[in-house]
Structure 1
Amino acid sequence: MATAPQSLPLFYNRLEPLSSQTHADFRVRPAATAPFLAKQHAVPLTVEEFPLVQRRMPIVFSVGDDPVPLALMALNEGVNTFINEEGGLIEDETYIPAYVRRYPYMLAKLRPDSEDLSLCFDPTSDTIGAFDEGEKLFENGEPTEVTKGILNFAEQFEQAGQRTGAFIRELKEAGLLMDGEISIQPEGGQAFVYRGFQMIDEKKLADLRGDQLRKMSQNGMLPLIYAHLFSLSLMRDLFARQVRQGKLPQQPTSAALN
């Protein structure tokens, strides 16, 4: 059997290609909780999600040569202010990023010498397996509507990921990303300083030439940039959520967000 890539993304423990022969009797069942999310403070985003997320969570960019957009669900590692310890929603209206909703499935290359992508899944997930209950993935050797829906979502996510990558490349080429830092000082206490993320440099944005701004407006980048900038006002709201939930470190800290 072909094997999936060795380098695994966030949340995935293993990857196995979905097969109508090997997994003919597999079913999927809904998950009421996502325990793997309970201690995850930052989740990757696609650009299509910026308008939805910017009203609920801060959007930042990871550090490094290949930054990705991140929705912050807390400001400290090992904390999530939207998900409880069991992996359930603290508030029913919480937005869950598509990256999480895609799990345990994803499209992946099975061979490094091929560009073809195959639908794979994480066999350690308890939502897919040879169960007595749940919806079938295959019927008479053919994918069911459930499987087709899973594949369609994975394909849409892959396309969104490509558009997100193009957005990041444009930001880097324009030199708009800068190291971020935020200092939050509780009343009567010492400041908590958060670093280890990137953000848009508003001064460089304001200094862009007219033709550059026009291009960004026409290709849809400008609204995404402002969605990110507007979302940064939620940093203090997120800090306040941690305070209310008793999830702040014992001492003020200098923490990395990515």
Structure 2
Amino acid sequence: MTTTTPQAPGQLSGNVLFYSKPEPLAKELHSNLGVKRMDGPFGFAKAGHAIPLTVGEFPLAAVTGPIIFVGEEKLPIAVMGLNAGENMFVKDDGTFESGIYIPAYVRRYPFVFANDEQNKQMVLCIDRNAEFITDKGYDMAFFEANGEPTEYTKNCIEFCNNFEVERQRTMSFVQLLKDLDLFETKEATFTPANPDGTAGEPQKIAEYFGVSEEKLNKVPAAKFVELRDNGALGQIYAHIHSLVGWDRLIALAMTKAAEQQPAANLN
């Protein structure tokens, strides 16, 4: 795993959710920069209603909300809001609601690995636009006076390395589900109440990929035991059980809408 940045990184690519200005971390550019501590460091995640998740996080994330698979690559994500750009669990002060699982994708910010396609390697980047990166009054510097990474930076590099390992393991997990043809298209729906109290027309909230319990139950016994023994079965059930979280998100959305309604009527 690459932990240093080349002088000419070439074309960078990769998933950059939250990262508006990623730059390869280099002592020539960032020796005078550091990170300041903030009481609410997760304000940037307010815009993340769907956050990438690694398979090892499924059991913890399942308690917070739905874990679904999206796109052609069947990328697993944690659903944290019903509307694009609105994370329902990040408060205005930049902190998460109590008891909410914070995905590793969020916790590694402002660091991220990006693909250096020209040099065929991974380079460590920071989001230069992160509000807690500063050139004055910082608490943790990126580099020592001699140009070596600080202990803080080394720890962040290790976290990103571990995240990349988990990301690769997640890709293997998804490929396993594809090979067994376990995916099916699913819908999350909400049935509103009419003014007279009767049930209204169901409304589709989301369409996504999920594991089919029917297909899972038809997996040959030997393969089922293999899924159990390699830990995949537990992750599959964590995903399946997490889908009841749609009801929680809908209830939260309705509660927030009701709270805002009186204020709207006063205007």
Q: Same fold (TM over 0.5)?
A: yes
Moved over 4 A (4+): none
Structure 2 spans left out of the alignment, 5+ residues: 1-6, 262-267
Deviation at 1:79, TM superposition (A): 2.7
The structure 2 residue matched to 1:35, chosen from 22, 32, 43, is 43
- State the one-letter code of the partner of 2:256: Q
1:211–1:236: structure 2 CA closer, same or farther, 3 Å change rule? Answer: same
- Structure 1 counterpart SS, 2:160: helix
TM-score (norm 1): 0.88
Q: Quote the sequence identity (%).
A: 35
CA contact (8 A) 2:37 2:138 kept: no
The structure 2 residue matched to 1:167, chosen from 161, 173, 177, is 173
- State the one-letter code of the partner of 1:102: R
CA distance in 2, matches of 1:222, 1:42: 24
Structure 1 spans left out of the alignment, 5+ residues: 251-258
CA distance in 2, matches of 1:178, 1:101: 31
CA distance in 1, matches of 2:167, 2:98: 27
Structure 1 window deviating more from structure 2 (28-37 vs 165-174): it is 28-37
Spell out the pairing of 1:150-229 with structure 2 (5 A cutoff). Answer: 150-187=156-193, 188=197, 190=200, 191-229=202-240
The structure 2 residue matched to 1:74, chosen from 67, 70, 81, is 81
- Structure 1 counterpart SS, 2:243: helix
Matched with 1:255 is none
Matched with 2:140 is 135
Matched with 2:3 is none
Matched with 2:123 is 118
1:171–1:157: structure 2 CA closer, same or farther, 3 Å change rule? Answer: same
Q: In the alignment, is residue 144 of structure 1 matched against residue 150 of structure 2?
A: yes
The structure 1 residue matched to 2:58, chosen from 42, 50, 55, is 50
CA contact (8 A) 2:13 2:114 kept: no
Counting helix residues as a fraction of each chain, which structure ranks higher?
2
CA distance in 2, matches of 1:66, 1:76: 22
CA contact (8 A) 1:104 1:125 kept: yes
Structure 1 window deviating more from structure 2 (186-195 vs 141-150): it is 186-195
- State the one-letter code of the partner of 1:142: E
- Structure 2 counterpart SS, 1:66: coil
TM-score (norm 2): 0.85
CA contact (8 A) 1:2 1:110 kept: no
Deviation at 1:88, TM superposition (A): 3.2
- Structure with greater Cα Rg: 2
Matched with 2:251 is 240
CA distance in 1, matches of 2:119, 2:28: 24
CA distance in 1, matches of 2:138, 2:37: 10
Matched positions, count = 246
